[in-house]
Amino acid sequence: MEKGIPMYSPLGHSPTRAPASNTSRSINSLKTIVKALALGLPLYALYGWHTNQALLPSSLSRRGADVNATSQCEQTPLLQPSRNDTLDKAFSFLSTEKFLNESVSRLSGAVRVKTVSYDDLGAVGEDPRWDVFYDFASYLEKSYPLIHSKLQLEKINTHGLLYTWEGSDKNLKPTLFMAHQDVVPVPEDTVPAWTHPPWAGEYDGTYIWGRGATDCKHQMLAAMEAVETLLASGWEPKRTVLLSFGFDEECSGREGAGHLSKFIEDRYGKDSVAVIIDEGGGFEKTWGSLFAKPAAAEKGAADVYITVRMPGGHSSIPSDHTSIGVMSELITAIEAQQYRTHLEDENPYMSQLQCGAAHSPDFPPKLRELLDRRQHATTKTSKANTKPDQLALEAARVGGPPTKYVMQTSQAVDVIAGGAKANSLPERVQVTINHRINIGETPQTVHDRLTEIAAPIAKKHNLTLHAFEPQDESSSDTTPLEPANSIILTQTPHIIDVAPISPADPKSPSGAHTPFSVLAGTTRALYGEDVIVTPSIMTANTDTRYYWNLTRHIFRWGPGYDEQDGPGLGNIHTVNERVSVKKHVHAVRWFYMFLRNMDELEVEVEV
């Protein structure tokens, strides 16, 4: 448990209930302190944990909040489940050394199963590289016996895992937790650079190390730990709980999430789920405040192939510009000018700016001025559609690339291939450019821009431009002959529209809770009332791209937090991937609380 981050105590009281007497509270506080000392918790953190008072550093206290901005960043009150001796005891167990060690063992063991997915995998059931997921399913069955004995498990497209915990009230829409079983490969030449072997699941007292420790076995097992604990305590949900775990998120998600989402929709129908929680946004300290940032949106995505076809020949009599030279000129022109930086009003980052202005002591004055100007604008032309968007540009300047790219379509030249021999002119060269599309733009925005850039270069070199021409799908030839002396722009199958933006209102029009308010109130109850919960946007995409039909309430959210862990995502997809054990255990507690809150509160689900 990190310094200064209070945690929900089952001995505390709900804001809607009368507090316990001073005498009983003192006794319970002493019990809490005695139980937790084994984890080395500082006393002031324990006090904050028990009283639900946020004991964050004084620099994170709220001051100077703008009244107008505050009304646009209303924070959900702390939401704690009702008191129940059995369930409270089970929750207290999650704070013990015994549970920590058991949870470490289970996550370490999960990391040791090499559930790697590759871009060139063949069909499920035919390519033997899929078979490792049999081993992982067996490991989960051994590790979580109550889940596998009391929940219904259905295996979708062989390796997709769908667990169903039937609720007693069929009128309540299910809560759905997502994660993916697969991980990215570890290049052999990087293995010596790892502090601990990438498949060892090493625990050093602070972190569990290894591929998949963070992305995304930590989140998957945190949800399972919470469900297993609730099962052990005898809790029976009113609202059905679904656990949906794909197995190829890292290489498209089509075989896993693509089949799982269809199966769920066929069973329950469209708009049938109350809320979906998948991996995603986490915590960030900025402007003197601690923000919890569940992603309520995702940027779109579009991969584009650019191919240059030119005559070959002997290199001793070269053309003035080879196909590689022309491609280099084209890449230079593309990279010379980025997409515009602009912040649409519906972009969730606008909410973070409003929350910063409302609650953060170090919110930059220039940003405050520009935000105030935007909020008081009355005409559409004076808002984000103007060029340039001064608010977006200033926010990008202050926040750097991680902030800029939540307000700008990105482009990255990621793959290039061409040429065969030093004395042979290259006849064909191709690059792949990855784009992540900003709110307010579409894949067509990308197509139009690349066509505009390529046209004068094609003309300069006397080449024909073929830009995003329809493909003849009736042809049996899977690799049709490309036109010679051409620049060819082709859309790949990897194209995703900007995701629908999930509602992130603190309460419904009727005054009931919303899925977002339950998420926010649970988070603030666990970590303290000084935590500011605001929706955010993912620059990447998760398996939720397949689940849009099931609910409007989709949040990509990593609920674990460890103040000592620092920023970042635990080196995902690179050397020394790891996860803080405190972060992992906190995530278990969050899932435990969230399930109970969703079950007990009146939640209005917008369709």
DSSP 507-565: S-TTS-B-HHHHHHHHHHHHH-TTPEE--EEESS--GGGG-TTT-S-EEEE-----GGG
Q: What is the pLDDT of residue 365?
A: 97
Distance between CA atoms of residues 137 and 535, nearest Å: 34
Q: What is the pLDDT of residue 377?
A: 78
**Span 366-370, average pLDDT:** 96
* Chain position carrying tokens 């435990």: 592
Report whether 127 belongs to an annotated binding site.
no
Find out whether 532 and 292 touch, Cβ atoms under 8 Å.
Answer: yes
Distance between CA atoms of residues 30 and 5, nearest Å: 19
Find out whether 178 and 186 touch, Cβ atoms under 8 Å.
Answer: no
**Residue 91 zone, left/alpha/beta (φ > 0; ψ -120 to 50; rest):** alpha
Residue range 470-488, pLDDT digits in tens: 876 555 444 567 899 999 9
**Span 393-422, average pLDDT:** 96
Distance between CA atoms of residues 471 and 71, nearest Å: 52
Q: Is the pLDDT of residue 77 over 90?
A: yes
Q: What is the pLDDT of residue 24?
A: 40
Report whether 543 belongs to an annotated binding site.
no
Q: What is the pLDDT of residue 139?
A: 98
Report whether 573 belongs to an annotated binding site.
yes
In whole angstroms, how far apart are CA 248 and each of 119, 224, 324?
9, 19, 34
- The active-site residue, picked from 2, 66, 182, 303, is 182
Q: Could you tell me where the beta strands, DSSP code E, fall in 310-385?
A: none
**Torsions phi, psi for 227 (to 5 deg):** -65, -45
**Torsions phi, psi for 220 (to 5 deg):** -60, -50
Find out whether 355 and 410 touch, Cβ atoms under 8 Å.
Answer: no
Q: Which uninterrupted H or E stretch holds 230?
A: helix 217-232
- The CATH class of 85-297+499-600 is alpha beta
Residue range 104-130, pLDDT digits in tens: 999 999 999 999 999 999 999 999 999
- Chain region(s) in the chain for CATH 3.30.70.360: 303-339+409-496
Residue range 495-525, pLDDT digits in tens: 999 999 999 998 888 999 999 999 999 999 9
Find out whether 436 and 539 touch, Cβ atoms under 8 Å.
Answer: yes
In whole angstroms, how far apart are CA 122 and each of 127, 128, 248, 473?
5, 9, 12, 21
Distance between CA atoms of residues 44 and 361, nearest Å: 23
Report whether 250 belongs to an annotated binding site.
yes
- The active-site residue, picked from 202, 228, 248, 249, is 249
Q: Is the pLDDT of residue 191 over 50?
A: yes
Q: What is the pLDDT of residue 385?
A: 56
Residue range 127-174, pLDDT digits in tens: 999 999 999 999 999 999 999 999 999 999 999 999 999 999 999 999
Distance between CA atoms of residues 347 and 341, nearest Å: 12
182 part of the active site = yes
Residues constituting the chain: 607
Report whether 188 belongs to an annotated binding site.
no
**Structure confidence at residue 375 as a pLDDT band (50, 70, 90):** confident
Q: What is the pLDDT of residue 376?
A: 84
Percent of the chain surpassing pLDDT 70: 84
Q: What is the pLDDT of residue 82?
A: 96
Q: What is the pLDDT of residue 471?
A: 75
* Chain position carrying tokens 């194209």: 495
DSSP assigned state of 501? P
- Chain region(s) in the chain for CATH 3.40.630.10: 85-297+499-600
**Structure confidence at residue 566 as a pLDDT band (50, 70, 90):** low
Tokens for 342, please give them.
Answer: 């602009």
Q: Is the pLDDT of residue 54 over 70?
A: no
* Chain position carrying tokens 């901005």: 69
Mean pLDDT, the chain, integer: 87
Q: Say if domain 303-339+409-496 classifies as CATH 3.10.129.10.
A: no
Distance between CA atoms of residues 119 and 487, nearest Å: 26
Q: What is the pLDDT of residue 569?
A: 62
Q: What is the pLDDT of residue 607?
A: 87
Look up the pTM and report it: 0.86
Question: Mapping DSSP to helix (H, G, I), strand (E, B) and coil, where does residue 32 land?
Answer: helix
What one-letter code names the amino acid at 516?
F
Q: What is the pLDDT of residue 50?
A: 33
Name the more confident of 236 and 507. 236
Which of 281, 299, 368, 298 lies closest to 339 in space, CA to CA?
A: 299
Residue range 264-307, pLDDT digits in tens: 999 999 999 999 999 999 999 999 999 999 999 999 999 999 99
- Least confident residue range of 61-75, 237-251, 426-440, 470-484: 61-75
**Structure confidence at residue 493 as a pLDDT band (50, 70, 90):** confident
